Amino acid sequence: VCPDDTFCSLEQRYVMAVLYYSSNGGTWDNCAEASSGSDCEPINVGEPGYNPGPDGARRWLDPVDECEWYGLRCLPDDKCIRIIQLENLNQSGNIPSEIAKLSDLRYLAMEDGTISGTIPDLGDLTNLRFLDLDAQNLEGTIPESTYTLSTLETLDLNENSLTGEISPLIGDLTKLTFLQLDINSFIGSLPDVFQDFNLLEEATFQQNNFTGVMPQSLCDQRANVLEVLQGSCDQCTAVTAGCCTGCE
């Protein structure tokens, strides 16, 4: 602990260490700890997790401020982590529940790996706007607390092994612009609760085990800014022509 450490830095370094070890950070193929022998190439300029520091990115667990570690971004005034972008790093293991302690987090992207287990309770991330956990091996249901994240603009959970029904509480996520739930094992009917989703631009539900038809409240959003709406052909053929933009 250093004299100028903020409240965030007292806790978030521990949380990031837990995240690293929980996702088997020593086997990451980019910016793992120095002893791993991995390369350490920075994220492309313009990407959310790009670090503008002189080194572009520092390895995880390096003895520097964790805000300089690869894929992490903090605001300079409080040094609280706002962005975690860790994609296509050969991640495995699981997502630890401790990540919900990062109360200032806005952006969480951990995609394209073999992370398993369940989605942790993220209900305390009340400022989260972007949640992308696609192309992993996640199982179980979407936690009810996810539907309380009223600031979410992107919910991207496709290409996992998620199960269960989609709760009617999804109707509270009215700031969503991007909703991707395809290629999972969800069941039941989609709830007809999307009447206030006036900002939604893309929604995909295909390759699941849904029953019933595409909700009329989603079809109605095609008159607004919803340009992509995809589901199973059984869901789509029984509704108004022009509702779905594709099916499979």
pLDDT tens for 73-111 read 998 888 899 999 999 999 999 999 999 999 999 999 999
User: The whole model's pTM is what?
Assistant: 0.94
pLDDT on residue 2: 53
Tell me which of 95 and 11 has the higher pLDDT.
95
pLDDT digits (tens, 9 = 90+) for 110-134: 999 999 999 999 999 999 999 999 9
What mean pLDDT value characterizes the chain?
A: 93
Mean pLDDT of 133-140: 98
- Non-local (6+) Cβ contacts of 114 within 8 A are 91, 92, 136, 137
Dist CA 192 CA 204 (whole Å): 15
Q: Are 107 and 83 in contact (CB under 8 A)?
A: yes
The sign of the dihedral angle between the CA atoms of 217, 205, 189, 114 is negative
Report residue 33: phi and psi, to 5°.
Answer: -55, 155
Residue 215: closest CA among 192, 245, 244: 192
User: From the CB of residue 246, how many other CB atoms can be counted at a distance below 10 Å?
Assistant: 12
pLDDT on residue 167: 98
pLDDT on residue 240: 80
Cα–Cα distances in Å, from 26 out to 93, 217, 242?
Answer: 11, 46, 49
Q: Look at residue 100 and give its three-state secondary structure.
A: helix
Q: Look at residue 21 and give its three-state secondary structure.
A: helix
User: From the CB of residue 233, how many other CB atoms can be counted at a distance below 10 Å?
Assistant: 12
Q: Are 90 and 113 in contact (CB under 8 A)?
A: yes
Q: Are 107 and 84 in contact (CB under 8 A)?
A: yes
pLDDT band at residue 3 using 50, 70 and 90 as cut-offs: very low
- DSSP assignment of 182-195 equals -SS--EEPPPS--T
Phi-psi region of 48 (alpha: psi -120 to 50; beta: other; left: phi over 0): alpha
